[in-house]
Structure formats: structure tokens, C-alpha cells
Amino acid sequence: MVYVSSNSLSLALLPIPILVSTLPQIVYNIRSLNMIQVSGQKFISSAQMTCVFQSSASQLILYKSKGLVLSPSTAECPLPQGREALRDHGEHLKIAVSNDDGRTLSNYV
């Protein structure tokens, strides 16, 4: 990642996160859930941590949210306020995370 301002240039090499699982793994009523916990590796605690929700059916990115890193292997991904609209995009949603505001994504689970 390259950060450029009017009088400086800085580089940051951020690892690409790896997702292993979500908690809960299966959700039957998305309205009863406020966030999904993800487990994996290489999560960086920063304002750039992003969660990306994708439709399994259409492959469209439906929603992005700022993730909260609890540890290098655990993060929380908040669901949107109108989260019941997510279920209209197919039976299955996938989630990925990013350490650089969605520019480079982990694998989807």
C-alpha cells in the first residue's frame, strides 16, 4: 500500500488475511444477528480493516463494513442496519476481510 500526501510518501506492506471460519457458521434468521465473528490469520488492527459480504448466487458485493480486530486471528464484522435485505440475494452469503479498506481481499468463507 502506498500513502501519498503533498509532502510525503510512505509505504506499508500489509499481509493478505486468511479466513478459516465464521461464528455462527449457519444463520437461519439474519434479523436476530448484529455481527459475525471471523477466525483466521494475519488480521491487522487498523481503521482500514474491512469486511465484505458477497452473494454466493450472483457474486455481487452486497455490503462492506469496518471490521473490528480482536486479535491477529479473530475479528468481528458488523451487519448492516437493513440486513434483512441481504437475504434477498440468494440463500448463501460469503464473507471476506481486508487489511487495506477492501483493495486486497482474503479468501471468502
Which DSSP string corresponds to 81-105? TTGGGGGGG-S-EEEEEESSTTSS-
- What CA–CA distance (Å, rounded) separates 52 from 81? 15
3-class DSSP state for residue 98? strand
Reported as a single tens digit per residue, the pLDDT across 8-55 is: 766 668 899 999 999 988 877 777 788 999 999 999 999 999 999 888
Task: Please give the model's pTM, rounded to 2 decimal places.
Answer: 0.81
Domain spanning 15-98, CATH architecture? Sandwich (2.60)
For residue 80, whether the previous peptide bond is cis, meaning omega lies within 30 degrees of 0, is no
Higher pLDDT, 61 or 38: 38
- What CA–CA distance (Å, rounded) separates 48 from 54? 19
Q: What would the DSSP string read from start to end of 20-47?
A: EEEESS--S-GGG-SEEEEEEE----ST
Give the residue extent of every domain in the chain: 15-98
3-class DSSP state for residue 90? coil
What's the confidence (pLDDT) of residue 90?
54
Reported as a single tens digit per residue, the pLDDT across 20-30 is: 999 988 877 77
> Sheet harboring 35-41: ordered strands across?
18-23, 35-41, 74-78, 68-71
Reported as a single tens digit per residue, the pLDDT across 72-96 is: 999 999 987 766 666 555 567 899 9
